[in-house]
Amino acid sequence: MAKKKQSNSETQETPKKQRSKGYSRNKGNRYEAQVVKELKELGYTGVKTSRSESKSADDNKVDIVDTEHKLPVNLQLKKTQSIPSYFKIRSESTVDPKTFAIM
């Protein structure tokens, strides 16, 4: 909801500020790093972000790569308040649907 600003006897609505693409990208990158850290604490020592490990995995909608192949799923991470479009994201990936998960 836009904020209301009072000036004299009029009430004006100020437009809601839009976030930049860089803000969203940084928020997503921090979330990926947080999940990698938590998975390593759980014992999955070979997990890395696909940004640092594999361009092809990153292009294939996989955000977390397990170099030791112990993680049973391929993770696509979304740090958002709204529900991501699973089927749209899934259709852009060639990963086996049985192992594809969005968090």
pLDDT digits (tens, 9 = 90+) for 37-52: 999 999 999 999 998 8
Query: Do the domain assignments include residue 1?
Result: no
Query: Do the domain assignments include residue 87?
Result: yes
Query: Do the domain assignments include residue 11?
Result: no
Which of 69, 32, 70 lies closest to 50 in space, CA to CA? Answer: 32
Query: Do the domain assignments include residue 5?
Result: no
pLDDT of 102 above 70: yes
> Domain limits at 54?
21-102
Q: Percent of the chain scored above 90 by pLDDT? A: 40
Query: Do the domain assignments include residue 85?
Result: yes
CA dist list (Å): 8 to 11, 12, 69: 8, 10, 65
Query: Do the domain assignments include residue 34?
Result: yes
Query: Do the domain assignments include residue 13?
Result: no
User: And the tokens for 67?
Assistant: 């170099």
